[in-house]
Chains A and B, each alone.
Chain A
Amino acid sequence: MMLIPCPWCGPRPRVDFSYGGPDPADHPRPADDAPLEAWTRYVYERDTPKGSARELWRHAAGCRQWFVVERDTVTHEVAGSHPLPGAPRPVGEDL
């Protein structure tokens, strides 16, 4: 099973987590008054990369925070993770 490193809790088995779409940095939310095409792209279209991907995951059965996981969609290797901009600081990070 994949081990996913939660930035706050540390590595935990994949079943503790749920997948939530692409990294918002790569798939940003359009402005409220953006044209329909921009909203269609945001709501419905996905790049669904083969190989290395940046994805949003949530530690659903733990601290319940959303964060970004770098993961390979072919080998399932997990390269790392980081909090979303503006999220509370992970424990142990230099203050």
Chain B
Amino acid sequence: MIRYSALSLLRQGFAGHGGWPRAWRDADPRPDYDVVIVGGGGHGLATAYYLARNHGIKRIAVLEKGWLGGGSVGRNTTIVRSNYLLDANAAFYEHGMKLWTRLSRDLNYNVMFSQRGVLNLAHTDAQMEAFARRGNAMRLNGIDAEVLDVPAIKQLAPLLDTSAEARFPIVGGLIQPRAGTARHDAVAWGYARAASALGVDIIQRCEVTEILRDTKGAITGVETTRGRIRAEKIGLCVAGQTSRLAAMVDLPLPLETHLLQAMVTEPVKPCLDTVVTSGAAHCYISQTDKGELVFGGDLDGYPSYAQRGETPLVEHVCAAAVSLFPAFSRLRLMRTWGGVMDMSMDGSPIIDRTPVPGLYLNAGWCYGGFKATPAAGWCLAHTIAHDAPHDLVKPFALDRFARGATLDEKGAGPTPALH
């Protein structure tokens, strides 16, 4: 591996860029490992990296049924934030925020983390009060938050329709200035490269079809499309497929798999340098470094493994986007796509051991798991290495539902599509 630096760029530039080596090894499976991570998305790769780096574990494999980054890590809208109300979520995502701010240096890979701020718009006084409450909770947890009035919002995003005649008049907002976006593919590739350099085997086109256990029920390995692989510890990082993998060991989970879509317009000159979200309009918008405007919205609303959505939601999101930013009505949509979400029953994630000895779970990321990539990898690696949950994820225990200790940010109850 060459270290990426201004000097290596210059040197390769003079050599016509022909000399760059592969960023990571496309490994073949070996018969056994100390830890097998199922799923080569952001979470699986980050977990493998921190297992090797923080815990010195040597023989690690990441098994990916498709290609690296083909899941939701390459499909999301790249928002990174820690603007949570509940203490447990605030502490976990804020740990993540700190990892994000030094991630490019840690990985020696530019993940293009851009702290452009995430602005939540309020359209009613009641919403404004809820925002003030959340903003105060954030500040009490040492997280940056500012309540904004309409003139401040107008200054921040001049194209936003802040007039009283707007379809959804804006009454104020809450911004987390340190929040922002990161380049999603770079996060997958950066973790893959750094993990591979520490000896992690990244094995593609390798689908886990069975989870193997001994007579006492403990994990002994996995059956895959590329043969049997032995390991006494398995970490599940398969996002929307989690229920399917857990069904292999008859473990019912508080999850439902749903479909989420996103879309981008043609690229235009820079016109929006923050992330704008409107819960009431069911729409959020940011501009990529290439100039495309990225629109996202709500779930389609029913269980799906299709990674492909329907047009009414696209129409709804575009209508909302245009009502917020009338100037965008002239833009053409270039692409729409979908991904599958492991929606949990309280909207918060699960990182824990399971009743199956040697099986570790990382799931329930709903539509917010991209920002969690570094912190989830960090905490799951700890949980696997020590066979005990990291302090930050103790509140994300699997048995919290049975105990009545749910972490329901929105108070929406056990209806996954509403989180």
Q: A and B: real partners?
A: yes
A-to-B contact residues, CB < 8 Å: 1-2, 13-15, 18-19, 36-37, 40-41, 43-50, 53, 55, 73-76
B312 and A19: CB pair below 8 A? no
In the complex, chain A residues whose CB is within 8 Å of the CB of B345:
43-44, 46
In the complex, chain A residues whose CB is within 8 Å of the CB of B416:
46
B310 and A40: CB pair below 8 A? no
Q: Is B99 an interface residue (CB 8 A)?
A: no
Q: Which chain B residues in 211-238 approach chain A with CB under 8 Å? A: none
B256 and A48: CB pair below 8 A? yes
* Interface size of B in residues (CB-CB distance below 8 Å): 24
Interface of B: prevailing SS: mixed
Q: Is B253 an interface residue (CB 8 A)?
A: yes
- The answer for the CA separation of A40 and B346 in the assembled complex, in Å, is 13
B382 → chain A closest CB, angstroms: 26
A55 and B304: CB pair below 8 A? no
Over the window 282-312 of chain B, the binary record of Cβ atoms lying under 8 Å from chain A Cβ atoms (1 yes, 0 no) is 0000000000000000000111111000111
B226 → chain A closest CB, angstroms: 21
Q: List 3 tightest A-B contacts by C-beta distance, closest first.
A: A19-B302, A44-B254, A45-B252
- The answer for the CA separation of A48 and B414 in the assembled complex, in Å, is 14
A46 and B256: CB pair below 8 A? yes
B-to-A contact residues, CB < 8 Å: 243-244, 247, 252-257, 301-306, 310-312, 345, 401-402, 414, 416-417
With A36-B402, A44-B401 as contacts: A53 and B305 at CB distance below 8 Å: no
- The answer for the CA separation of A36 and B399 in the assembled complex, in Å, is 12
With A18-B301, A73-B306 as contacts: A48 and B255 at CB distance below 8 Å: yes
A19 and B253: CB pair below 8 A? no
B191 → chain A closest CB, angstroms: 27
A40 and B303: CB pair below 8 A? no
A53 and B402: CB pair below 8 A? no
A41 and B306: CB pair below 8 A? no
Closest residue to A36 on the B side, CB-wise?
Answer: B402
With A1-B311, A15-B312, A19-B417 as contacts: A46 and B306 at CB distance below 8 Å: no
A64 → chain B closest CB, angstroms: 17
Interface of A: prevailing SS: mixed
B401 and A48: CB pair below 8 A? no
Besides A18-B301, A46-B254, A47-B252, 14 other CB < 8 A contacts?
A1-B310, A2-B310, A15-B312, A19-B303, A40-B402, A43-B345, A46-B256, A46-B345, A48-B255, A50-B244, A73-B304, A73-B305, A74-B306, A76-B310
- The answer for the CA separation of A33 and B30 in the assembled complex, in Å, is 51
- The answer for the CA separation of A14 and B301 in the assembled complex, in Å, is 10
Closest residue to A20 on the B side, CB-wise?
Answer: B415
In the complex, chain B residues whose CB is within 8 Å of the CB of A41:
252
With A19-B302, A40-B401, A74-B306 as contacts: A48 and B243 at CB distance below 8 Å: yes
Closest residue to A4 on the B side, CB-wise?
Answer: B302
Q: List 11 A-B contacts (CB under 8 A).
A: A19-B302, A19-B417, A36-B402, A37-B402, A43-B414, A44-B414, A46-B345, A48-B256, A50-B243, A73-B305, A76-B306
In the complex, chain A residues whose CB is within 8 Å of the CB of B305:
50, 73-74
- The answer for the CA separation of A46 and B302 in the assembled complex, in Å, is 13
- The answer for the CA separation of A1 and B257 in the assembled complex, in Å, is 19
- The answer for the CA separation of A76 and B244 in the assembled complex, in Å, is 18
In the complex, chain B residues whose CB is within 8 Å of the CB of A18:
301
In the complex, chain A residues whose CB is within 8 Å of the CB of B414:
43-44
B205 → chain A closest CB, angstroms: 20
A74 → chain B closest CB, angstroms: 5
Closest residue to A39 on the B side, CB-wise?
Answer: B402
- The answer for the CA separation of A2 and B301 in the assembled complex, in Å, is 13
- The answer for the CA separation of A15 and B310 in the assembled complex, in Å, is 10
- The answer for the CA separation of A71 and B216 in the assembled complex, in Å, is 38
A55's partner among B253, B257, B303, B401 (CB-CB below 8 A) is B303
